[in-house]
Amino acid sequence: MNKLTNIFLLFIVFPLSVNAACPDGKTYPVHFTFDDGPHAVLTPKVLDILKEENVASTFFVMGKHFAGGKSNPQTKTAYALLDRMKREGHRIGSHTYEHLNHPQLSSTAMRENIMKPNPLLKDYLSPVLRLPYGGGSFRSSNPSIQAKNDLVMSTVKKAGFKHVGWDVDTNDWDAKKRPRLLPTMLRDICSNKGGVVLFHDIQKFTVDNVQDWIKAIKKEGHSFVGLERFVPEATKPLPPEACQTASPVKEIKTFDGEIYKILQKIKN
Amino acid sequence: MKKLKTLILSTLFLSSQVFAQAPVFTSLSNTGKNVLAGVKLEKKDHEPETYILNISADSMQSKKINLPDELIHREIIGIFPAEKGMLLVISQRTVEQGDKPQFHSYDVSTQKWKKLAETDCKSLSKVKIEKASLVVSCSETNSDGNDVESSKRIELTGMAMSKLKEVTFPIVKDDSASLKAELVGDAFEWKELKVGLNNKQKVFKP
């Protein structure tokens, strides 16, 4: 029995799989996501690489790139990129209209920034959304911050979206952290047991390196999977409530707000 | 065989510890009398929790400086001493993408915080500390996706900085006469802070 225990322990530490990337001897599913685009020059390069590597990804696009809709000639390239993403098997999610931190906005502005892209992108969007800075999607120990976060998340939910965060934040936007991006990402893939990885397709640095990162992940034995592996709701169509403009959300009552109302009454 | 088993079990225990989300140091400052360090605790699905650790060189004891509500979830990326027991604290929200770094003053004796400024500067690379202003160097992404360096001046109303110098981020080591301070560990995930005064040395954890 003692011998059996020893053999068992040895297998845990030195597993059979030679490709095992992680200290636990396992390999994991990974999904790449790209925020802030599409970028007229850089996003096509990302799409070329993803096609070559046969990797399906999700693009969380900013609504402001589609201002005026298809009738605006300046959005032609952006829409053509969405067509290409769809054609090549990628998923498109909303990153809201402008890159703002939603809990810091008034409830009206917050709702508008979440809803505004939807009529412009209704033919392309899966019902998935990522809040800029993740603002509103986290739990806070501070009750007043949590109340604002709850309001943001309830607006996202009422609009019919599933919020998609990330398991691995690559910090590709920060020049100081880039030298350690690959080893940190590989380590975090192991510690999180795979998951959704966050990049930005508006950074030349990311576009210049993403193929090497894909190859490195594949070399470790991990596999690339679709978003639906982590977010089953991603396969559903965009619900009609995403494009509704009525029913404004309830305003948060704050002390500042009350003072403002009193001042308005005095002024009038 | 018993020794081997102990070794294997301890290896398993240690490797599981690697994945625990322990607090890390994010910045360092040495005033000559105190060593200050920004601390961040990240927990999945939670806002990062941050505070400043203040270590007295005389007693080699540490005390926590709690942050106001507006800063509790922002990473402390720089702490610089100013005259009259004031500190200048630079913070940034660093999840998903960096937001505009904010500049706050902190009066150690009254424990009062005041927001002085914020600036468009996603990746702060250097700061030149002048008496009543800072010149920050930023690495920004332009519309072509390329990195471009720019510099911006931040006026510090009501504050006089005490150590005039130019520093490059991240600040991993900050020595001041006989008081020495150094962050130890992987970059941006420093797990230890070594503080040395004359022949004494103590290692702090966040």
What's the pLDDT tens digit per position in B111-169?
Answer: 999 999 999 998 999 999 999 999 999 988 888 888 899 999 999 988 999 989 999 99
Which residues are CB-neighbours of B197 under 8 A, at least 6 positions away? B57, B60, B178, B179, B180
Indicate the SS3 state at residue B183: strand
The nearest alpha carbon in chain A to B121 belongs to: A174
With an 8 Å Cβ cutoff, are A139 and B12 in contact? no
pLDDT value at position A11? 46
A26 interfacial to chain B (CB closer than 8 Å): no
Give the count of alpha carbons within 13 A of A39, CB side only: 22
A211 interfacial to chain B (CB closer than 8 Å): no
**Residue of B175, B50, B1, B100 whose CA lies nearest to A173:** B100
Task: Choose, out of A145, A173, A205, the residue to mutate when testing the contact with B (most B CBs < 10 Å).
Answer: A173
Most distant CA atoms of chain A, gap in Å: 88
pTM: 0.86
Phi, psi of A235 (to 5 degrees): -85, -15
User: Per-residue pLDDT for B184 more than 70?
Assistant: yes
Kindly state the percentage of chain A with pLDDT values over 90: 83
Q: Dig out the tokens for A179 from the structure.
A: 């030298």
B46 interfacial to chain A (CB closer than 8 Å): yes
Cα A33 to chain centroid, rounded? 6
Q: How many residues does chain A have?
A: 268
User: Per-residue pLDDT for B8 more than 80?
Assistant: no
Selecting from B46, B69, B123 the residue whose C-beta is nearest the C-beta of A138 gives: B46
In this prediction, the residues of chain A whose per-residue pLDDT falls under 70 are 1-20, 245-268
Strands across the sheet with B75-82, in order? B75-82, B86-92, B102-107, B112-118
With an 8 Å Cβ cutoff, are A169 and B19 in contact? no
Would you place residue B106 in the very low, low, confident or very high pLDDT band (cuts 50, 70, 90)? very high
Most distant CA atoms of chain B, gap in Å: 68
- The ipTM estimated for the assembled molecules is 0.85
Smallest CA–CA distance, residue B187 to chain A, in Å, is 8
pLDDT value at position A4? 52
pLDDT value at position A255? 47
User: Per-residue pLDDT for B5 more than 70?
Assistant: no
pLDDT value at position B204? 97
Chain A CB contacts of B97 under 8 Å are 35-36, 99, 132-133, 173, 200
pLDDT value at position B141? 83
Smallest CA–CA distance, residue A266 to chain B, in Å, is 30
Indicate the SS3 state at residue A156: helix
pLDDT value at position B129? 97
Selecting from B1, B4, B99 the residue whose C-beta is nearest the C-beta of A133 gives: B99
pLDDT value at position B20? 42
